[in-house]
Structure 1
Amino acid sequence: MKWKHALNDYQLYLKIERGLSQNSIDNYALDVTKLINFVEANNINHTPVNITSELIQQFIYEIAKIVNARSQSRIISGLRSFFNYLVFEDYRKDNPLELIESPKIGRKLPDTLSEAEIDTIIKAIDLSKPEGERNRAMLETLYGCGLRVSELINLKISDLFFDEGFIKVTGKGDKQRFVPIIDVTKKYINIYRTSIRVHLNIKPGHEDTLFLNRRGKQLTRAMIFTIIKQLAVKIGLEKNISPHTFRHSFATHLLQNNADLRSIQLMLGHESITTTEIYVHLDKSHLSEVVEKYHPRN
């Protein structure tokens, strides 16, 4: 079995069997491609079926020279998944990464913005330009609903259930969830739709896409990153922020205002409550207040 053949089969498995998004599939494929490039560059005559743990360990030693521990750990995890697939399909009897340990890394706490910082960023949007109303509506939606950037750019007009107070969000693995939407977010989306979007020359296939670029097509992830980076520079914000920062801030601010973790988990679309629990570590004062208020000995 050749490497490219194995990789193509693996990508189909991730799409059809695992139901992963194209972005996740691309990330898994990139990890395998790094190993393929190493094998080819060093003229190693091993296939996915017979490559050894020793050769993969050698690859990891080399990759560790150019990437940090967190990236190294992700690559190891991606390769372990690839070889688990080969074992599952009976191409191999063992996983060569079974005894290879990932580097120890601390759990990285996400950056967050204060309510004042979010207000300052949104106020910095130039509303005299047509894209200004769109950008304000997008940032209000990111923060007001806690969306991932991929969920934002894929949001459809048919996903808006404003009368019921919800939007339908398609998350990782095409899993859908309903997220409450507050009045202020609804207001800015409606302003964008009625004053800006209706005047665009919308291209075929994008009629139902909510947020569009000037050419009437779906926005890219990179464009959302650029918009937010430019606003951060404009207000002199020294934090390194991204669209995900608004999602983190959404969860953190809910927790600070005594929302329960289970509700936050459902709104964020986390499969495991463990993923949501990271937000508990962001605000130690909140934990102290909970003990002081609810502990029977206090």
Structure 2
Amino acid sequence: MNNYKLAKVYDQKGDLTKRWFVGYYFKHPENGKMVLFKAWLSTRFKTKAALYRKARELTENINNKLLNGYNPFQHENISFTCLIEALEKIVSLKKQYTRHRTALTYKCYLNNFIIWLKSANLTKITVESFNYQYAQQFADYLLTEKKVTNRTYNNYVEHFSTLFNELVKREYLLRNPFTKIKKLPEGDRRIFAYTNQELELLKNHFPKNNPELWLVIQLIFYCAIRPNEIVQLKIKHFDLVTKTILVPGYISKTRQTNTIRMPIPFYEYLITLDLKKYPDEFYLISKDLRPGEIKIWPTRIAEQFREECNKIGLDRKLYELKHTGAGLSIKNGANIRDVQLHLRHTNINTTEIYLRAFQGSTSNEFIQNFPEL
């Protein structure tokens, strides 16, 4: 004999003036008596049709848990946890095993989600009450009120789908309300690059006035290394014999270990820095942007770069140097596979965005060497 009775709807004989609930019985571990557990339906549902629809969903959710061994006397009654509290718990867990920047993104997205919940008077909504209709309302809010781009919209959908998958996995709810939210077409991501005149401004200013930042600039331009990776690279990761840079998986954006071949101009510059005089465990870019033992935040690099650019009237982002280096290599005839490997793109479709941005028509070499019929 089961120690529970499956959930069913208590509809108060159809009386809308009384509070409906879904109830199930579970045997008390000490006295053996069957105890009734109630999951009250929200008063937001004003019609019988809406109440029955929500009640069926909740009944299915509870019965699925009971059939899979759920015991309300042994486990926290997570079905009826406040949604905000549940998501904050998941984001906190994410922080333990995701990159710092990824964790910050989840936190930022959740904060905006909570702002929307407050505006919709849903701050007390429980996990099991949040359904597809609410998810779609939030998605619509992103477009109509926040006026986010299609790409940002898709990022929100992807991140919240991931968060709610974690809730499903932990049996907070039966199905993910964000899986039905359609992503929007993005089109090609815009690629911004420095002009030749802007590159001249960099070359005329930084080597003399801020050689430490000049090294960072070249790491991004020549080697396509991200600022967050740069501040974690150590002297030992630079091999002047093989002319390579090792980017370990634990600091890489993709979590994959990669070896980057140094373009000759950068290799020749790196030799002049005499890195051998520093301990292998020193960070290449540390306090004051010089080699040292202290790990710094990538924002420190961006701040100093902005300060220097203001001095020369340059309004550009540091990371756009990566796009610039890739674009110039394409214009110089680099093949797409080399560019993909150098930029460490896992998907060649991403690399093709650079091709379309920097090579809008067939090259002269292609036309001149086209085979005869």
TM-score (norm: length of structure 2): 0.66
Matched, 1:38 2:38: no
Superposed CA deviations along residues 128-148 of structure 1, whole A, max 9, x for unmatched, are 5xxx22111111111111111
Aligned residue number for residue 371 of structure 2:
296
Superposed CA deviations along residues 221-256 of structure 1, whole A, max 9, x for unmatched, are 22222333344433334xx52222111112112222
Deviation at 1:292, TM superposition (A): 0.9
Higher-Rg member (1/2): 2
Q: Which has the higher contact order (CA 8 A, sep 6+)?
A: 1
Matched, 1:181 2:262: yes
Tell me the distance in 2 between the aligned counterparts of 1:153 and 1:121. Answer: 21
Tell me the distance in 2 between the aligned counterparts of 1:149 and 1:286. Answer: 32
Q: How many residues align?
A: 283
Aligned residue number for residue 134 of structure 2:
55
Say which SS state the counterpart of residue 179 (structure 2) adopts.
coil
Q: Which moved more, 1:178-187 or 1:136-145?
A: 178-187
Superposed CA deviations along residues 262-294 of structure 1, whole A, max 9, x for unmatched, are 222222121111111111111235634354144
Tell me the distance in 1 between the aligned counterparts of 2:148 and 2:222. Answer: 33
Deviation at 1:78, TM superposition (A): 1.6
Tell me the distance in 1 between the aligned counterparts of 2:254 and 2:359. Answer: 33
Tell me the distance in 1 between the aligned counterparts of 2:179 and 2:369. Answer: 46
Q: Which moved more, 1:149-158 or 1:48-57?
A: 48-57
Tell me the distance in 2 between the aligned counterparts of 1:83 and 1:60. Answer: 15
Say which SS state the counterpart of residue 125 (structure 1) adopts.
helix
Matched, 1:226 2:300: no
Aligned residue number for residue 62 of structure 2:
none
Tell me the distance in 2 between the aligned counterparts of 1:229 and 1:94. Answer: 46
Alignment root-mean-square deviation, CA = 3.1
Tell me the distance in 2 between the aligned counterparts of 1:268 and 1:91. Answer: 40
5 Å matches for 1:233-252? 233-237=310-314, 240-252=315-327
Contact 1:162 1:181 in 2 (8 A): no
What stretches of structure 2 of length at least 5 have no aligned partner?
1-80
Tell me the distance in 2 between the aligned counterparts of 1:80 and 1:234. Answer: 44
Deviation at 1:41, TM superposition (A): 5.3
CA distance 1:12–1:189, shift in 2 (3 Å): farther
Aligned residue number for residue 287 of structure 2:
213
Matched, 1:26 2:100: no
Say which SS state the counterpart of residue 179 (structure 1) adopts.
strand
Say which SS state the counterpart of residue 121 (structure 1) adopts.
helix
**Greater share of residues in helix:** 1
Say which SS state the counterpart of residue 113 (structure 1) adopts.
coil
**Greater share of residues in strand:** 2
Tell me the distance in 1 between the aligned counterparts of 2:86 and 2:138. Answer: 21
